[in-house]
Amino acid sequence: MSPYRRFIAVFALHMVIAPLARAGTEVQTDVPVERVVLFSSGVGFFEHRGKVEGNAKTELRFKTEQINDILKSLVLQDLDGGRIGSVIYPSQDPLSKTLRSFQVDIRTNPSLGELLNQLRGSDLTVESQGTKIEGTILGLEKKKRKVTDDEFIETWVLNIIEGGTIRSVDLNDVSKIELQDKELQDELNKALLALAQSRDQDKKPVTIEFSGDGARRVRLGYVVETPIWKTTYRLMMPDAELKDASGSLQGWAVVENQTESDWSNVELSLVSGRPISFVQDLYQPLYIRRPVVQPELYASLAPQTYEGGVGGGSGGGIGGGHPFSGGAAASAPSPMRSAKMRRRSEVKNDRSADAAFVRGGAPFSSVSDEDYYAESISSLADAADMGELFQYKVAGVTLPRQRSAMIPIVTDDIDVERVSIYNQSVLAKHPLNGARLTNSTGKDLPQGPITVLDDGGYAGDAQIDHFPPGQSRLLSYAVDLDVRVDATKSNATNALQTGSLVNGVLVLKHKLTHSQIYAIENKGSRNKTLVMEQSRNANWKLVDSAEPFETTEELYRFKTKVEAGATTDFKVTQEYVREEQIALISSDINRLEFFIRAKEIPETVRNAVEKAMHLKQILSTTESSLQQHRDRIESITKEQERIRDNMRSVQQSSEYYTRLLTKLNNQETTIEKEQSTVAKLQADANQQRQSLADYLNNLTVK
C-alpha cells in the first residue's frame, strides 16, 4: 500500500474512532427484554428492565417501519429518583440531505486533498517525515512529480501558514493530520457517523438517556407490530376398545421473535385479545403552511389557540386517569384482571423490589409492575365488548432475534367420544371419522389445526375454533369408508288444514311436511355412533323425530347407533304451517268453488264464501249483459260511419241515398234503446257491487 493510501485509511479510521473514544465517557447500558405480551391482533408489548448508574443511556434498534409505533407508544421510567432525558433517533430525511447539513461535505466520497481543501482556514497539525508542523490551511494544489525520465504523476501539495511562513507539504510524505478546531472535528465525526448508520437502511437506532445519581432501576415499554402468534394441536385418540377413556391433547404456540433484541429468560404472555391499534405517521417531518399576518397596533400579541379538555378532573388534561397522572384511576383494577380475563399457567413473580414507582424521587402510583402495564395495554381493548379474553403466561422463554419457536402451552387429558359425522352436503355417501371433544382441560383453547393420532399412527387433520372450558366441539379428520349412507329417499306434502274469513279476506292455513330418510349400513367390525347433521329451515319444527343433542342456527345434530354389520334407517321430519290470504272481492269464481268443496274449511266459512260467490255471480251476469249492450252500440256506430261515407258519394235525389237515410234513422232508434238499457244495467251493476262490498267488508267468520 502506498504511503498516501495508507494515510487515508489511518485518517478515516481516526475520524470514526475519535467520537467513539469520547463517547466512552458516557455509560452505555444494556436494558434487556424481560417481558413480552403478544396479542392475536398482530401487535406486541415489550418491556425492558435493568439498572443504570449516574448519567447513562441505552440504545435499541428497530426497523424503519416500526419507528412510528415507537414514537406513539414508548413508555419510560427512571426509578429511585432518576429522570428521563432525551430520546434520540435518526432523521427520516435522505442521507444526502443529512450530509449536506454538516460543515464538511462528504457526500461525493472526496479524496484527502478535496477534503482538506474544504477545510481552508482551519488550524491543524501535520507530521511529515518525522517533523511536526502546526499552522493554518492556506490551500491545496496539484503538482507534477517526475517518476522516470518520461513519466510524471500528479500529487497533492498542502500549503500551510506557520507563523509568517508558508510551507508546502507533499501529502505522500504525511503520516498524520490532526484538526485543532474541535467544532469542525465534531462536525466531521457526525457526518461519518451518519454515513456509517446509513449502511443498514432498514434498522434505526433509538437512544434513550437517563439522568440521576447512583444506581437506579429503569424500565421502558413499547408496542410494535408483530407476527400473529398461532396455535397448533396434537390429539391422541383413546383406545377404541375402552369405554370412558380420555384422549390426550398437546397444544403448541408458534411464536416469532422478529425484533432486534434477543429474548433471554423473558416472561412471555400470549393474549387472545384484540386491542384497537393503528399506525400514525409521526416519523416523517410535517410542515404546515403559515398565514401571512399584516402588522397591527398590537402586533406583539400572538394568535391564541385553545385545546379542548375533559371536565370533572383535578389532574391534567386527561382527567387524572392516565397511569402517570397519579389520579384515582391509576390504582383501579386492570381490565386484564377483570371477570372477562381468565389467566392460565400463572407464574409467581417477585414484585417487592418495584412496590412503588417514583418520578423525580416522589411516589406516584402503588400499582404493581404487572398491573401497571396491563392497564396500559388493555385500556382500549376493554373499551368495547370483545368477548372473553384469555392469555397464557410462560416463564423463562429464551429466543434469539429473527428466530421462531414452538412453545408448549397445553399438555392435558381431554374427554373424547368417537363418532362418525354425516352431512349430505359435505359427502353424500359416507360420513367422516371424527370425535366429540369436551374441553376438560380448564384452559381456553385458541383456534388452530389439530393433527389426530390414532392406534399409534397418523389419522388425519382437523380444525377447531375458539374452544372455552366446559364446552363441546365436533371435529372430523378422515372419511369413514366402513359406513355408507343412502340419502336419496325423501317425502314432501302440502296439505290444507283450515280456513277463516277476516273482513272479507279468506285466510287459509297449509301444513308443509318434509321427511328425510337415511339408510345407514355399517360394513365395519366395530359398532358406530353416528352424528347426523340435518339442515334446519327457518320457521320449520321437528315432528315425529328423535330429539337432537345439539342445535345450531343452520343444523340439527342427532345421534344414532349402528351395530357392526347392520343396516338401519334414520328419519327426520320437519313441518311448517304456511298462511295464505285471498281477497274474495277480486277472486275468480272457479277458485271460490274449490274452497266451497274443501272439507278442511269449516262449514260456516264455506257457507259465507258460497253466499259471496252467489253475489259475485249476480254481479258477473249483470256485467256480462252490460258489456254485450255496449258492444252492440259500438257495432252500430261503426256501421253508421260506413253508411255516412256511402251517402257522401251518391246524389241525394237517388233512390239509394233515400234507402241509406232510412237505415241510418232506424239505427239511431236502436242506439237510443240500447243506451237506455246500458244505463239501467250500469245502475244495477253499481248496486250489486256495493252490496257485495258491504257484505264482504263486515264478513268475519272463524
Residue 65, classed as helix, strand or coil, is helix
Confidence (pLDDT) at 283: 62
Taking 70 as the pLDDT cut, the residues of the chain under it are 1-26, 91-109, 191, 194-202, 243-244, 273-279, 281-288, 290, 292-389
Residue 577, classed as helix, strand or coil, is strand
Residue-by-residue DSSP string for 490-522: EEEEEEEEEEEEETTEEEEEEEEEEEEEEEEEE
**106 beta partners:** none
pLDDT tens per residue, range 510-563? 999 999 999 999 999 999 999 999 998 888 999 999 999 999 888 999 999 999
Confidence (pLDDT) at 318: 32
* 529, 541 Cβ separation under 8 angstroms: no
**How far is residue 388's CA from residue 385's CA, in Å, rounded to a whole number?**
9
DSSP letter at 294 equals -
pLDDT tens per residue, range 44-74? 999 999 999 999 999 888 887 888 888 888 9
Rounded to 5 degrees, φ, ψ at 417 are -115, 120
Distance of CA 519 to the CA centre of its chain: 44
Q: Which amino acid, 45?
A: F
Confidence (pLDDT) at 286: 65
Q: How many residues does the chain have?
A: 702
Confidence (pLDDT) at 9: 44
DSSP letter at 618 equals H
Confidence (pLDDT) at 194: 66
Nearest CA to 416 out of 232, 234, 249 is that of: 249
All cell numbers assigned to 121 = 482556514
Inter-axis angle of helices 603-648 and 655-697, to 10 degrees?
160
Confidence (pLDDT) at 273: 64
Nearest CA to 29 out of 209, 261, 264 is that of: 209
HEC string of 433-475 equals: EEEEEECCCCCCECCEEEEEEECCEEEEEEEECCECCCCEEEE
**541 beta partners:** 575
Confidence (pLDDT) at 340: 35
Angle at 473 between CA 549 and CA 416, to 5 degrees: 90
Confidence (pLDDT) at 136: 85
**How far is residue 469's CA from residue 121's CA, in Å, rounded to a whole number?**
80
**How far is residue 275's CA from residue 272's CA, in Å, rounded to a whole number?**
10
**How far is residue 567's CA from residue 639's CA, in Å, rounded to a whole number?**
83
| Sign of the dihedral through C-alpha 585, 589, 590, 592 | positive
Residue 389, classed as helix, strand or coil, is strand
Confidence (pLDDT) at 366: 34
All cell numbers assigned to 281 = 405517521
* CA max distance for the chain: 157
Name the residue with cell 382500549: 380
Residue-by-residue DSSP string for 303-350: PP------TT-SSSTTTT-STTTT-GGGGSPPGGGSTTEEEES-----
Burial of 130 (0-12, 13-18, 19+ CB in 10 A): exposed
All cell numbers assigned to 382 = 376493554
